[in-house]
Structure 1
């Protein structure tokens, strides 16, 4: 039976424009629907793109890496006593996620993407901390030479590692069970080697932790420790509180959170020629630095806080303006000798690396 179109039930002239655009809509939507090959390509692009996202996010923490290059190289960002992100630790986690991704094919994109995201953060942290670590070994402006030799060693052992990896892939790691056994063992060896490398590396720039250790040694033993003396004493695992003997100084808080406006004028009169302000906080002394304050300014403020803490603990007095005056004059008497000895021991006192600490300008 031949089908016929009843043109009396609608008006062809009025319907034709609408149907034409409906055809355009269907054609365009069909063109946007990806083929299986396109979907696979997009998935791999998204997986690899997560590494670049991690790199961009990690780039915001550059100032913290300058302040604590060894901890960032090994463990990363600490908040309280918790480790949030890491360099070598996070890189091994990323590799582990990539190895495990075939075990969950329905979540392959998520697991592999998360692994690449972790590796992206780790790569930026490792590269960013490499320069300050190399700088601590430079003596006569030979930073480029040190960097070139360090990269040569890194390349050499990377090639050796690739050869060992090829051998393992054809023997022990040929199965998933072998990978699950060999992976953690290799990761432990890797992290132990990096931790020993970081512990043996002396850092000659001043940050809050190293400044507290230097001042503590000077007050207790009358000696100025060198970067090599402190390298094995730095705690790379836990974010411990600073020493109470050195005033328990905390650096980096915003001025409006540290000093009340009514007390600002009084403190400026005590430290009228200085680029720091000290104020008694809840659990120690808060030090606020000017925008262009150097390591020498931070050392001066730290010594004042330490001497004030000694006066308060010995005489049971409160931390008043008179106590600050006494500590300030005591600091001025010993600081020239202290500073000269620091510079002779190899410390860079021209800058103070307090991470993302807030500073003020008057």
Structure 2
């Protein structure tokens, strides 16, 4: 990290001289981030003397600086997000707990494959291990294929899911020796789960690292996170050396330790993901922000919205939203396509299927991040009208009540007029909402709303083709 020199701040010679204890003012001051400062004092013989702010603290600061340079990103705390320290503390606790329970599981699996049993064969143990690893590899591929594009959008939720699944897998391995007839099947399922954990945990860790890195230093943040985890795992291994002789032939103590450290592991993981304060909008955070805006007329900032974000998967939506849906799955006639285009001035088309509980959005070829946010907001307003009381809304309260009444009269009727009026309502309120998002500190030039890649160009020579 580049040190900073400041010459102008020492024109007031009296204060500077008192600070350094010399009769003449220092020529400049130098800082290393916000952690360390020192002054350069001219001496009578023409040389410069470097004087730290507090010389008596140098031994302590030297040890602290060595520790910070090894385990924290360069430039900490300015080079990372404000939530970095809280997250890393709890992440360290959960890693230690996971290391202990992992050791208990490893001991159980080794015992189950026949280590220490004279009647077991090397071939049988090898086959069991190969089946366990092979099943896990298959799980890794299938999970990455089915959920890989969703991990960025809900990184906190998937991170917590991965740690819960990891504890389930460890429990299965600890219990497996008690069921010798099903031992291979149990450890194979456990291996399958652990590889899912590896994919989900690694991908969400990358997403959180991208959030934490504030100076294009993602590699440094990731490397230091790995150093922290290695140190914690080393501490866990040292503790395991004392625990293993105690639990080797004591199942009750094994189960008790597993329960204790699993509770600690889950609690620390919850606190870690809850400490994360992300400024990009995913569907859950946009839902919270938009509902607050409709109710109170103000946009809450990331620090207010993130603590309210649900951390369990599948708990966000009452309507299923498909962003970037293919047009051929929604429109089967020219008349329907023309009705969808009528009065539409946005770079998306919204289709609502009340019977299926789905809102599908077709995105234009030129749709950007703000267009996707607007489309998702449109779908969220529809969800609010169908499932929430809008009587107390201060933003377009009368219009919202009128639209809600018409939707509830015949919810299964495809009323293009109602959808068109809803589009006009959104056109009126969205500019103020977008301004509020920017003012509150939300990032709008990119998002985590999870849109698919389908795009449609319904314009010809700059005009809509009807």
TM-score w.r.t. structure 1 length? Answer: 0.74
> Is the contact made by 1:74 and 1:194 (CA closer than 8 Å) also made in structure 2?
yes
After superposition, the Cα gap between the structure-2 partners of 1:167 and 1:333, relative to the gap in structure 1 and judged at 3 Å, is: same
Q: Could you tell me which residue of structure 2 aligns to residue 353 of structure 1?
A: 448
The question of 1:47 aligning with 2:132 is answered yes
Query: 1:260 & 1:352 partners in 2: Cα distance?
Result: 31
2:292 pairs with 1:217? yes
* Cα shift at 1:97: 1.8
Query: What residue in structure 2 maps to residue 130 of structure 1?
Result: 205
The answer on 1:275 being equivalent to 2:360 is no
Other-structure match for 2:434? 339
Query: In structure 2, what is the Cα distance between the partners aligned to 1:94 and 1:285?
Result: 34
1:220-275 residue CA offsets vs partner (Å, 9 max, x unmatched): 122222222222111113633547xxxx673346545545533221112222x422
User: Which of residues 242, 247, 252 is equivalent to 1:167?
Assistant: 242
Asked if residue 250 in structure 1 is aligned to residue 321 in structure 2, the reply is: yes
Question: In the alignment, which residue of structure 1 is the partner of 2:15?
Answer: none
Structure 2 spans left out of the alignment, 5+ residues? 1-120, 386-396, 408-413, 458-466
Contact kept, 8 Å, 1:63 with 1:356, in 2: the verdict is no
Contact kept, 8 Å, 1:73 with 1:125, in 2: the verdict is yes
Give the C-alpha shift of residue 158 in structure 1. 1.8
- Identify if the C-alpha distance between structure 1 residues 194 and 291 changes in structure 2 by more than 3 Å, giving closer, same or farther: farther
Who is 2:406 aligned against? 317
Aligned CA distance change for structure 1 residues 339 and 74 (closer, same or farther; 3 Å)? same
Q: How does the TM-score come out when normalised to structure 2?
A: 0.59
Is the CA contact 1:343–1:349 (under 8 Å) kept in the aligned structure 2?
A: yes
* Separation in 1, partners of 2:436, 2:217: 24
Q: Count how many residue pairs are aligned between Structure 1 and Structure 2.
A: 311
- Give secondary structure in 2 for the equivalent of 1:141: coil
Aligned-residue Cα RMSD (Å) equals 3.0
Distance 1:58 1:356 in 2: 19
Distance change >3 Å, CA 139–CA 289, structure 1 → 2:
farther
Counterpart CA distance in 2 for 1:285 and 1:313 is 22
> For the Cα contact (< 8 Å) 1:226–1:346, is it kept in 2?
yes
Query: Is structure 2 residue 273 aligned with structure 1 residue 198?
Result: yes
Q: Deviation at 1:104?
A: 2.5
Cα distance, 1:154–1:317 mapped onto 2, change above 3 Å: same
Aligned to 1:263, which of 321, 325, 336? Answer: 336
SS of the residue 2:359 aligns to: strand
Q: Structure 1 unaligned segments of length 5 or more: list them.
A: 1-35, 76-86
What are the within-5 Å matches in structure 2 for residues 109-128 of structure 1? Answer: 109-128=184-203
Other-structure match for 1:26 = none
**Distance in 2 separating the partners of 1:301 and 1:356:** 10
CA distance 1:340–1:143, shift in 2 (3 Å): farther
Question: Are the aligned partners of 2:283 and 2:449 in contact in 1 as well (CA < 8 Å)?
Answer: yes
* Aligned residues of 1:52 and 1:120 also touching (Cα < 8 A): yes
Matched, 1:72 2:158: yes
Q: Is the contact between residue 270 and residue 321 of structure 1 (CA under 8 Å) also seen in structure 2? A: no
1:56 aligned to 2:141? yes
Task: Give distance in 1, aligned partners of 2:298 and 2:442.
Answer: 14
Within a 5 Å distance, the mapping from 1:152-163 to structure 2 comes to 152-163=227-238
2:290–2:377 contact (8 Å) kept in structure 1:
yes
Name the residue aligned to 1:105: 180
The structure carrying a bigger helix percent of its residues is 1
